[in-house]
Amino acid sequence: MDRVSLIWRLRRRARRGALCMGLFCISMAMLYALCAENSVPVTDALFGVRARTRAQPRAHSVTKVLRGGAKPMYLDPQKLPGVIPGNPNHPIPVLSSPNHTQEGSSKETHPQHPKRQREESGFFAWLLPRPFRRAMETLFGGRHQVAQKGEFFGPHEALGKVWDDEMSSNMLGKRLRKVVQNYQAMNKYGVKLSGPGGVATRPKLSGPELLCQLKKTVEVATLTPKLEPFHSMPLASQLPPKPMTSDIGPYKSCAVVSSAGSMLYSGLGKEIDSHDAVLRFSAAPTVGYEKDVGSKTTIRLLNSQMMASDDHHFLSSSLYSTGVLVAWDPAPFSADLSQWYNKTDYPIFTQYQQYRKLHPLQPFYILHPRYEWQLWQQIQDNMAEPIQKNPPSSGLLGTVMMMSLCEVVHVYEFLPSRRKTELCHYYQKFFDAACTLGAYHPLLYEKNLVKRMNQGVDQDIYTHGRVTLPGFININCTQGAGSE
């Protein structure tokens, strides 16, 4: 009798233990879901930095710092919630955890009826309150599937069939809108606003007028030994004696190949290789992706962070040892070259000098930081709201750079095609809408500008992700075409 009673008590304790453990797991999952969205410090304390990369920025904390509180301090935009701090060994910006699967990314996105989408989410999910549903999704991976499907990338979602050149931050989802608003409030580089942009009453220029304005106000310049303070430094012997626009080109037809995930399964490789010159970005490979991105590389544009990252092996990888290299690093908005040299974002000059010692004959240029901010000013002047006070993306820098070297430029997947996806890069399994819509860089507004200047048809964008832009040499600005 005592043995039966003991077994019964043990079973009852086991049931209670299982029930308590289940409730504990659900509570922790709910706490994780709430912390990852609302409380960065708590998330860091409980779950570490990896969980923080999914966190949502809090606008009021930024406003409080900017307005001046009891402890005024400088807030680096790279340290915003949702972004890994400025460590050259980590990417910036990171706005979601790279733990999505690439399964199904090859499938073309098709419109689905809302009822069908509801059924795919599960019947019981719609009976649960939202916190419980989030907890279950966090436990069983449902959130990752939702993030991969995306809130912007269906044919009938916010992005629509073809990019709308009036896209604004108000069209973004809650998460991205907060991130963009925080960056719009930051001013790490001391940007001074001027011109007609940033207000709804700005003058809207036509495509030809925009092209003329760009040609007249933006100079694609590179560093030379004659510039102060480089002429008296050992670096002078390693810099090219002439600007890039004097040494390279002109090319008749050029391709700018973005690193976007929508390049996958595009079948554009042969078309890209048919151009006289091909520009690629940072660590974008061609081996294994030739069918979609081609194999030719004439110029490669590098950012200073990638050059300093141990993960990319800049000094030893054969990926960078062919073709022309062009590097860039943002400088303070009004700084001269001496001030920039002493305060670069990443050690671009150190890496440049080391690379030149290893490859002294390879053409290697550094963009003048004035070019970056001239281009930024053109974006702001032609937008109806303030944009991020950070330099343009490599994508736009490279596109305008090629416009100075080529008669015609075809840009692939800078404006997303029907293959639009949240996959950031075609060579990495990392998903985030910010890679298309922008966070640190004013990508949203850059795409608006490119869409207005596009001389091709919308069907080319939809099917091939291809934008056609004229080279500066072919832009005719007579008869007041470029007047504001």
Flag whether pLDDT at 106 surpasses 80: no
Confidence of residue 117 (pLDDT cuts 50, 70, 90): very low
Q: What tens digit of pLDDT does each residue of 359-371 get?
A: 999 999 999 999 9
What is residue 344's predicted lDDT score, i.e. its pLDDT?
A: 93
Domain finish residue from 64, 82, 100: 82
57-66, 89-98, 310-319: which is most confident: 310-319
Instruction: Report, as an integer, the average pLDDT of 105-116.
Output: 36
Q: Identify whether 266 is part of a domain.
A: yes
42 within domain boundaries: yes
Q: Are residues 190 and 55 in the same domain?
A: no
Query: Mean per-residue pLDDT for 201-210?
Result: 87
Residues 78 and 193 in one domain: no
What pLDDT is attached to residue 192? 87
Number of domains present in the structure of the chain: 2
Q: How far apart are CA 186 and CA 80, in angstroms?
A: 10
3-class SS of residue 325:
strand
Which domain range does residue 360 map to? 181-474
Q: Is residue 60 part of a domain?
A: yes
pTM above 0.75, yes or no: no
More confident residue, 67 or 469: 469
- Pairing verdict, β 466-470 and 406-412: antiparallel
Does some domain include residue 153?
no
130 is a domain residue: no
Asked whether residue 128 is assigned to any structural domain, the reply reads no
**Residue 483: predicted pLDDT:** 41
CATH of the domain at 326: 3.90.1480.20
Q: What percent of the chain has pLDDT over 90?
A: 52
Residues 215 and 78 grouped into a single domain: no
441 and 332 housed in the same domain: yes
Q: Which residues contact 21 (CB under 8 A, 6 or more apart)?
A: none
Is the pLDDT at 114 greater than 60? The verdict is no
pLDDT tens figures, 230-276: 988 999 999 999 999 999 989 999 999 999 999 999 999 999 999 99
Task: Report the alpha-carbon distance of residue 482 to residue 412 in Å, rounded.
Answer: 26
CB 352 within 8 A of CB 402: no
Specify the pLDDT at position 339.
93
What one-letter code names the amino acid at 431? F
Are residues 78 and 186 part of one domain? no
Q: At residue 4, does pLDDT exceed 60?
A: yes
Q: Is residue 425 part of a domain?
A: yes
Task: Tell me the per-residue pLDDT of 155-174, one tens digit each, with 9 for 90 and over.
Answer: 445 566 889 888 888 888 88
Q: Tell me which of 141-145, 197-201, 280-284, 394-398 is least confident.
A: 141-145
For residue 315, give every residue at least 6 positions away whose Cβ sits within 8 Å of its Cβ, in sequence order, or none. Answer: 351, 354, 355, 358
**What's the pLDDT at 132?**
58
pLDDT at 93 over 80: no
Of the residues 38, 64, 82, the one at which a domain ends: 82
322 against 133, higher pLDDT: 322
Of 82, 110, 125, which residue is a domain's last? Answer: 82
For residue 435, being part of any structural domain is answered with yes
Per-residue pLDDT, 171: 86
How distant is the alpha carbon of residue 224 from its chain centre? Answer: 29
pLDDT, one tens digit per residue, over 18-47 is 888 888 888 887 776 555 444 334 434 444
**Which of 146-152's residues contact partners 24+ apart within 8 Å by CB, and which partners?**
147/96, 147/100, 147/422, 147/431, 148/100, 148/101, 148/104, 148/105, 148/422, 148/431, 150/421, 150/422, 150/433, 151/433, 152/422, 152/433, 152/436, 152/437
pLDDT band at 135 (very low <50, low <70, confident <90, very high): low
